Amino acid sequence: MEIRKFENIQETLYTDVLPNGLTINVVTKPVWLKCFALFATGYGGADRRFNLGGQWVDTPAGVAHFLEHKMFDTPDGDNALAVLSANGAQPNAFTSNSMTAYYFESTQGFYDNLRTLLSFVSVPYFTPESVEKEQGIIGQEIRMIEDNPGFVVYLNLMKSLYARNPIRDSVAGSIESIAQITDKTLYDCHRIFYNPSNMVLCVAGDVDPERISAMAAEILPKEPGEVPQRDYGEKEGPLPVKTRTEVNMEVSAPQFIFGSKVFQAEKGAPLLRQKLTVNLALRCLMGRSSPFYARLYAQGLLNNDFGYDLDYSGGYGTIMAGGESSDPEKVISELSKEVSAVADKGLDEALFSRIKKAAYGSRLRSLGSFGVLCQNLAEGKFAGYCDLDAFHVLEEITVSEVRDFIANNLAQDKLAMSVVHPLH
């Protein structure tokens, strides 16, 4: 087991790679009462076409999310969520475009709960009847989110940015796509993607790393599986497919989201540096302490719900920002002016220094959120880097790197915008 001490942040990371290929990351937190465990597979909504054993396999949209729902069923009729909850844990799961994760937090019975987590995620149990029942349940969920303005404005942006990449479709799929899912589909995708070579276990708390590693080796399959190659389709161009998408729904004020796509850096250290650079760029350009946000907030064009995000999946990074505004077109026009000014004159050095310190402090505080810590470690594993290295990489990023990123990736021709207008 490898032990890395990060003196700059006073954290210790224990890493083990089992003979079956599973990576285990444990951050020990002495004297803390709570413990957190996250068991994740590098399989998400975008992973619909893949090569296994020399053969290409195509699956309908929504399989990863459907599989997440069904994994809590067990052969003895129990529901793993109920078992974990009864033992004092707070369990849950999520599916993104790039990852499916199962996790729990507890202050007691940690090792019993960890055994339950590892057991139910590694042993699938599906029947044609249970799949048919779940199709009805997820179908209702899909209908609900399709009526949600926040979901509609997001999905319309993705369809505006991408021509073919599967991230332009909902992670949950559609009524039509989930109707194609069978128990065989789920068993096949579990066998392919839920093999230990394609998974990571991340734990934070006052725990014994050696005991965790031994438990995983005992419960999980002994042999490594083949990690499939993904195919996200023909490479996308740098410009959006469509610059504007507008619809009308039951909202009290226009909701908008704009964004651009980023060509992903090589996995490992270059990708970590790119992610941190993008985060600094967004903070400098449109964060709460930026001149852009302060000016538009004072003018009543933005309010407290304005925010931004960065998602890496499907082989691309996607920048998104939005909220409510009486005049979304004015917002994006003002942003474009801000980007042009940065490209021409550079970033204010004092602002960059403050933003960089704030970003470091924010990341340092997040170490106290075990869920965020474990999720970041899992994402880093699948992207080829250790997330705890972010602190020293962040210190190395220069103002010119951030300025160049803003000028090259957020110019007006790179942006698409999606708007949901009120019906009246």
424 residues of the chain, pLDDT tens digit each: 999 999 999 999 999 999 999 999 999 999 899 999 999 999 999 999 998 888 899 999 999 999 999 999 888 777 899 999 999 999 999 999 999 999 999 999 999 999 999 999 999 999 999 999 999 999 999 999 989 999 999 999 999 999 999 999 999 999 999 999 999 999 999 999 999 999 999 999 999 999 999 999 999 999 998 888 899 999 999 999 999 999 999 999 999 999 999 999 999 999 999 999 999 999 999 999 999 999 999 999 999 999 999 999 999 999 999 999 999 999 999 999 999 999 999 999 999 999 999 999 999 999 999 999 999 999 999 999 999 999 999 999 999 999 999 999 999 999 999 999 998 7
**Predicted pLDDT of residue 211:** 98
**Predicted pLDDT of residue 150:** 94
The owner of tokens 């001490």 is 5
**Predicted pLDDT of residue 228:** 85
Positions marked active-site: 68
In this structure, whether the domain defined by 2-230 belongs to CATH 3.50.50.60 is answered with: no
Please answer whether residues 391 and 266 qualify as being in contact, where contact means their C-beta atoms are separated by less than 8 angstroms: no
Query: Measuring CA to CA, how many Å separate 305 from each of 214, 271, 287, 334?
Result: 46, 29, 12, 18
* Residues forming beta bridges with residue 324, ordered by sequence position: 255
Check residue 267 and report its DSSP letter.
Answer: T
Sheet holding 416-422, edge to edge: 244-249, 416-422, 255-263, 316-324, 307-313
Domain with CATH 3.30.830.10 in the chain: 2-230, 244-422
What is the residue type of 336?
Answer: S
Please answer whether residues 54 and 226 qualify as being in contact, where contact means their C-beta atoms are separated by less than 8 angstroms: no
Per DSSP, the three-state class of 258 is strand
CATH superfamily entry for domain 244-422: Metalloenzyme, LuxS/M16 peptidase-like (3.30.830.10)
Tokens of 410: 């957020």
Per DSSP, the three-state class of 233 is coil
The owner of tokens 């139910």 is 120
> What single string gives the DSSP state of each residue in 70-98?
HTTB-TTS-BHHHHHHHTT-EEEEEE-SS
Tokens of 375: 């999720």
Residue 243's Cβ-count burial label (10 Å; 0-12, 13-18, 19+) is middle
Q: Phi/psi class of residue 360: alpha, beta or left (left: φ > 0; alpha: ψ in -120 to 50)?
A: alpha
